[in-house]
Amino acid sequence: MSNDDGIETDCTMPENPEIRRLADWDDERLRRLVSEYASPLYVLDLHRVRENYRRLAAAFPDADVHYAAKANTARPVLRTVHSEGAGIECASAGETVRALDAGVPSERVQYTAVNPPTEDLDIVVGRWAEGDSDLTITIGAMDTLDRLEDRGYDGRLCVRVNPGVGAGHHEKVATGADAKFGVPYARAGEALAEADDRGFDVVGIHAHAGSGISGEDLDSHRELVSRMGDLARSAPVDLEFVDVGGGFGVPYREDEDPLDLDAVAEATREALGEVDATLVVEPGRYLVADAGVLLTDVNTVKETPDGRVIGVDAGMTTLLRPAMYDAYHPIRNVAPDAGDRPALAQTVTGPICESADVFCTDRSIAECRRGDALAIGNAGAYGYEMASQYNSRPRPATVVLSGEEEAVARRRETIADVTRLEREVEWL
């Protein structure tokens, strides 16, 4: 079955497990993919994205789901979640353009403006004026209204509120109590009234606590949602939606349990109370994290006084999360005979000239030898998106899968791509 865009919508896999562990991937296929498309390589299973979407949508049957594109902006991902029914939440003009150009209609696109650069407003308002007239702009500061007015924008507007409640897997990803994000809660009613008076089409309120919320963060989530419910009931304008953000966490460690989504959904409904507006949730990571694997070749093995150090060709420029948040990602040796080798304490490091370029330290992994491929799990969210060209390293390719189908969704960069912006400085 396919929808109007010719996108496959029939998900035939009968089971819908809440977790896809790294060990559930087919090692033989991963080995073949990395030898065919070269290393390092992101692999993304669109079928798994669909499963994740369906599980989440089933837990929140009355809610509208807006996929937070920042987790993974690959066009097939945007199309897949849109074909399942998701709107797209965009953090920049670039993401907004990606969503619209992927064929997502403007009424399903929401641009969340955080300290919006001039170019972002020019581009997004430009698209709105040129026909994408049903997109929604979410403001997080009152002076963004002036800047929108200056550009003639009087379209759909949402006000992001700072709920004063933060949560997440690391202090660097808690946004809910960070003054940078949103209009202070106490001034939100005023902000809505002012936006309405000034002629904007005020349609919603928004808040987001942070990213990687676990069961332990449920009280913070409840508090945020309850505040948003109160605000919706006292709002000086009729609202179409109340967006309580995303942030739903996924298990990264092999022994971690999945988030109890039904408990989160129930807490959300209870805390929100009766509101005359649609609940919106805005997940990114939950939909794509375990749909992605990063494959990387072992090129160096050395025994050192500090232990066995393995060098691979992916680094912090390929997957930044371990270096930035000390994030744990499962790692598996997918060599054909890995199961027969001893598990050794090994430190896996990349090729970047930074001592933070480490994927794991003294981790028990089947003995790595030069030429093996390692799979790094849960790499579908904030993996490729946070990749950089530091050390003039080209970014890797992304191959998408769906059942037996596979295709390159993003080609590998070359050194020519990395250097193509250089200009001759004539006076040198």
Ligand X SMILES: Cc1ncc(COP(=O)(O)O)c(C=O)c1O
- With CB under 6 A as the rule, give the number of residues binding ligand X: 17
Q: What is the maximal distance between C-alpha atoms in the chain?
A: 71
DSSP conformational letter for 24: G
DSSP output for 195-244: HHHTT-EEEEEE---BSSB-GGGHHHHHHHHHHHHHHHHH-SS--SEEE-
Write the interaction track for ligand LYS spanning residues 136-175; mark x where CB under 6 A is met and - where it is not. -------------------------------------x-x
Nearer to ligand LYS, 153 or 359 (CB): 359
With binding defined as CB under 6 A, does residue 112 bind ligand LYS?
Answer: no
Considering only residues 333 through 372, tell me which ones interact with ligand X, judged by CB under 6 A. Answer: none
**Binding status of residue 321 toward ligand LYS by CB under 6 A:** yes
Angle at which helix 46-59 crosses helix 75-84, to 10 degrees, equals: 40
* Residue of 11, 90, 353, 368 marked active site: 353
Closest to 387 measured CA to CA, from 72, 49, 81: 72
For residue 290, the partner it binds in ligand X, ligand LYS, none, with Cβ less than 5 to 8 A by kind, is: none
Rounded-to-integer distance, Cα 383 and Cα 319, Å: 5
Q: Is position 353 annotated as part of the catalytic site?
A: yes
How far apart CA 177 and CA 170 sit, in angstroms, is 13
Give one DSSP letter per residue of 287-338, joined into a string: HHGGGEEEEEEEEEEEEETTEEEEEES--TTT--HHHHH-----EEE--TTG
Q: Which is nearer to ligand LYS, 43 or 289 (CB)?
A: 289
Structure tokens at 298: 């072992």
Q: Which of residues 226-265 bind ligand LYS (CB under 6 A)?
A: none
Q: By CB under 6 A, is residue 109 in contact with ligand X?
A: no
Q: From the list ligand X, ligand LYS, none, pick the one residue 282 interacts with, judged by a Cβ distance below 5 to 8 Å according to partner type.
A: ligand X
395 binds, among ligand X, ligand LYS, none (CB under 5 to 8 A by kind): none
Q: How far apart are CA 360 and CA 363, in angstroms?
A: 6
Nearest to ligand LYS of 169, 227 (CB atom): 169
Give dist(CA 111, CA 134) in Å, integer: 11
CB 420 → ligand X: shortest distance, Å? 31
Closest CA to 203 of 129, 113, 138, 275: 138
What's the CA angle centered on 268, arms 252 and 259, to 5 degrees?
Answer: 15
* Residue 73 binds ligand X, judged by CB under 6 A: no
Smallest gap from Cβ 108 to ligand LYS, in A, equals 20
Distances (CA, A) of 74 to 34, 70, 83, 146, 382: 19, 10, 14, 33, 11
Q: What residues are paired with 116 via a beta bridge?
A: none
Task: Tell me the C-alpha to C-alpha distance, in Å, between residue 116 and each of 83, 103, 139.
Answer: 29, 24, 9
Question: For ligand X, which stretch binds (CB under 6 A), given 12-20, 205-213, 302-310, 392-400?
Answer: 205-213
Give me the least distance between CB of 264 and ligand X, in Å please. Answer: 12
Residue among 111 and 382 whose Cβ is closer to ligand LYS: 382
Residue number with CB closer to ligand LYS (70 or 393):
70
**Closer by beta carbon to ligand X, 37 or else 181:** 181
Distance CA 104, CA 143 (A): 29
Name which of 45 and 89 has its Cβ closer to ligand X. Answer: 89
217 binds ligand X (CB under 6 A): no
Residues contacting residue 320 through CB under 8 Å, at least 6 positions apart: 382, 386, 387, 388
- The footprint of ligand LYS on residues 355-414 (CB under 6 A) is 382
Which DSSP letter does residue 118 get? H
Taking CB under 6 A as the rule, does residue 214 contact ligand LYS? no
288 contacts ligand LYS (rule: CB under 6 A) = no
Beta bridge partners, 201, equal: 156
Does residue 175 interact with ligand X by CB under 6 A?
yes
Site for ligand LYS in 21-80 (CB under 6 A): 70
State in angstroms the smallest separation of the CB of 246 from ligand X.
3
Q: Which one of 211, 214, 226, 378 is in contact with ligand LYS (CB under 6 A)?
A: 211
| Minimum distance, C-beta of residue 265 to ligand LYS, in the bound complex (Å) | 21
Q: Is 268 in the site for ligand LYS (CB under 6 A)?
A: no
Give the binding site for ligand LYS (CB under 6 A): 70, 173, 175, 211-212, 321, 325, 382
Give the binding site for ligand X (CB under 6 A): 68, 71, 89, 112, 175, 208, 211-212, 245-248, 282-286
Enzyme catalytic residues: 353
